A and B are shown apart, each in its own frame.
Chain A
């Protein structure tokens, strides 16, 4: 499964950038929701984790 696949990486750089951006926004959304949501329920569920990650809390 080693990689010698330069030729296969045929996606245009524009499409590549778009797909990477999409994945990046997904990551931002997930961490933002768990770490920063002001919803009480989300806060309470993730309380100990938020403190342990030093996310601003309370």
Chain B
């Protein structure tokens, strides 16, 4: 199990690092916008219903059917950090495994390209159909959106792999079709996009989410490229070129 152990070790270290970077960026750039949007969300719900979602004052637990949530402030930030780090390790596992399947990342520069690929697959492509949402914004059925999200991620990853890793023009064309297809099908949309959340707040959020994710993926790819040679004994020779 040398390969498994080394992959997990590289992924854990790089995911931890990129997760910390992500936490810092989210606390600085995206969470403040989420908190602003929650004010509009609360205003929209009014009255008794407002207690139900994001407010949890002293009179908070209504009938005990409300699930636990972290208290605002430090506790909430700590859980955001925990989610970012755990998921960072998860994304890193996927990145390391995908790159090992075709020979492994040889250095930080190659890692940046793999990072761009991860960004395209997990942020750019899903974000075209389902732009980042703020609390209080209308959205289609959750299950349908999750299904589309997973579909677009698989199609984009498969399409990029066909383009980058094969030498056949026909397969590259098929890859392009795969990348476009989910957008032709279209993401599930709400019946109405009306919301109390101001459009400029949402726009700032879309930009902040997209750019922070880009930096996360670039950092993750680069650190994997730096760490990988140190654990390469069990992983085999790094590849000499990207494809």
Contact = CB atoms under 8 A, between A and B. Distances in A.
Interface residues of A, number: 45
Interface string B192-228: 0000000000000000010011000000000000000
A51 B83 CA distance: 12
A26 B93 contact: yes
Interface in A1-57: 1-3, 5-6, 8-9, 11, 15-16, 19-24, 26-31, 34-36, 38-41, 43-57
- Chain B interface size, under 10 / 10 to 19 / 20 to 34 / 35 or more: 35 or more
A3 to B, nearest CB: 4
Contact of B87 (A15, A22, A34, A51): A34
Looking at chain A's contact residues, the main secondary structure is helix
B82 to A, nearest CB: 7
B177 interface: no
Contacts, number: 155
Contacts of B241: none
Given A11-B3, A23-B93, A52-B26, A30 B86 contact: yes
A30 B213 contact: no
B130 A19 contact: no
B232 A56 contact: no
A56 B142 contact: yes
Interface stretch (B43-51, B66-74, B165-173): B66-74
B235 A9 contact: yes
B2 interface: yes
Nearest to B75: A45
A31 to B, nearest CB: 4
Contacts of A21: 97
B30 interface: yes
Given A31-B90, A41-B67, A49 B84 contact: yes
Nearest to B91: A31
Nearest to A8: B233
B236 A54 contact: no
A23 B97 contact: yes
Given A23-B11, A49-B83, A51-B34, A30 B93 contact: yes
Interface in B227-243: 229-230, 232-238
Interface of B: 1-4, 7-8, 11, 26, 30-31, 34, 67-70, 76, 79-80, 82-84, 86-87, 89-94, 96-98, 100-101, 123, 126-127, 130-135, 139, 142, 145-146, 149, 209, 212-213, 229-230, 232-238
